[in-house]
Amino acid sequence: MLSESSYDEVPLQKRGQIIHNYQCYGKSVLGYPLEVFLPLSKQISYLIMAGHHGDEPETTTVLSTVLRTVAPEHLNCAVVLAANPDGLSRGTRANARGVDLNRNFPTTDWSSHPILHSWLSKEPKTVELSPGVKPASEPETQALINLVSTLSPKVIISLHARLACIDDPRETELGHWLSNQTDLPLVNDIGYPTPGSFGTWAKEKNISLITFEFPDESIVSIRRRLSPVLYSLLNGVAK
């Protein structure tokens, strides 16, 4: 695995801002732009996205850190840093309407029942969130669906926290590589139902999607441990 000191494409002095091309692919409920950072070439290997749940800010912070080390001419992935900017700005799992965006996709198993999650990690699931008034009711969901259709990535890698695993239902070569590089277990099922999830939607559309679950560690620890792996993905080094 590469060490964090192994890549220096962008000098430290220039890493204070993102220098990659980007497009706005939609707007959130509160009107925040939904941004996708794009490679200079039109060929896109992966779509890597973070911040689908606003209470998982480590995904956005670490992915942004790595993106700022990659020179524009070497980026070969599309990158979404904040799929749920309303949630990230408010520190909530859901968007501004209280909808869990990762349960709002138009799947055959979408359910109108409230979603329960834990107030603190490993506590009972008692906090209620909405799956939306109907599938794809939220502008963030609609925009992401349209983005995937426009980009047609070979693989989607969705960053989440804090289950510490690589969830790859197809058990692909990339999934095995990620597991080997991160020492996180490769699983083909997260272990509980996720009706209306992005992963289920992708599966029903025959799109390869890997959920990269960060460990329950500090952002500093995750950055040191996983930045080299994300760099390999963004820079096209991943096998």
The helix or strand, by DSSP H or E, that contains position 22, with its residue range, turns out to be strand 21-27
The active-site residue, picked from 35, 138, 140, 213, is 213
Q: Is 213 one of the annotated active-site residues of the chain?
A: yes
Q: Angle at which helices 219-234 and 173-182 pack, to 10 degrees?
A: 140
3-class secondary-structure state, position 89: helix
Dihedral over alpha carbons 176, 55, 19, 7 (to 10 degrees): -40
Q: Which helix (H) or strand (E) holds 33?
A: strand 33-38
Q: Residue 131 has which token pair? A: 């799956």
Residues with active-site annotation:
213
